[in-house]
Structure 1
């Protein structure tokens, strides 16, 4: 298992989001509003997953979205959240992975 820290280009993602948001006087939403927006986007992802993999097909008049689009929306909102709180997503991710790789290293059946 690879445990070195990888940079998944989150710094560039966060910078691109900041460049976009910085154009507007309103700036970033408050953390509470961003949490609501993240919940909304997560619900939209759940709806798409249900349409593609669940028992609830789309209605003929419903807009065609994709799981990829909804995941992109979530990445955007997470980047807004992190930027507004001055959090480096790469550092947050690496910290989380270190915790998971340590805590859960023997939790699952390893492949041969």
Structure 2
């Protein structure tokens, strides 16, 4: 994977999305609408995964999309969701990792 742009922290991602959304009078969608959008984007990722790894190849008439593009869409919508609720994504990630690192620390077979 070649990166031709800066690497962003979660704080920078949240600010960049907020700067973008703040240009518009409509602002952030409601939490319910954002949840629907996140579900929609997740479905689009699932479709791409199925095309590449599943039994349903893409039709020749379908637009070429990448999983990277779909993951980016999910990150954007997830960031909108977090921003609209004043949730710090870095803190949310920390809470999730702490949970996994304690609850699941003996759940999987460790590599030698």
Q: Identify the TM-score tier after normalising by the shorter chain.
A: over 0.9
1:105 offset after TM fit, Å?
0.2
Gap regions ≥5 residues in structure 2:
1-7
TM-score normalised by structure 2 residue count: 0.92
Whether 1:44 aligns to 2:39 is no
Gap regions ≥5 residues in structure 1:
1-7
Matches of 2:99 and 2:43, distance apart in 1: 27
Matches of 1:26 and 1:81, distance apart in 2: 15
Matches of 1:98 and 1:58, distance apart in 2: 39
What corresponds to 1:88 in structure 2?
88
What corresponds to 2:53 in structure 1?
53
RMSD: 0.8
1:67 offset after TM fit, Å?
0.3
Matches of 2:64 and 2:14, distance apart in 1: 27
Matches of 1:54 and 1:46, distance apart in 2: 10
What corresponds to 1:33 in structure 2?
33
Stretches of 4+ moved more than 3 A in 1? none
TM-score normalised by structure 1 residue count: 0.92
Matches of 1:95 and 1:58, distance apart in 2: 38
Matches of 1:54 and 1:13, distance apart in 2: 32
- The alignment of Structure 1 onto Structure 2 pairs a total of residues equal to 105
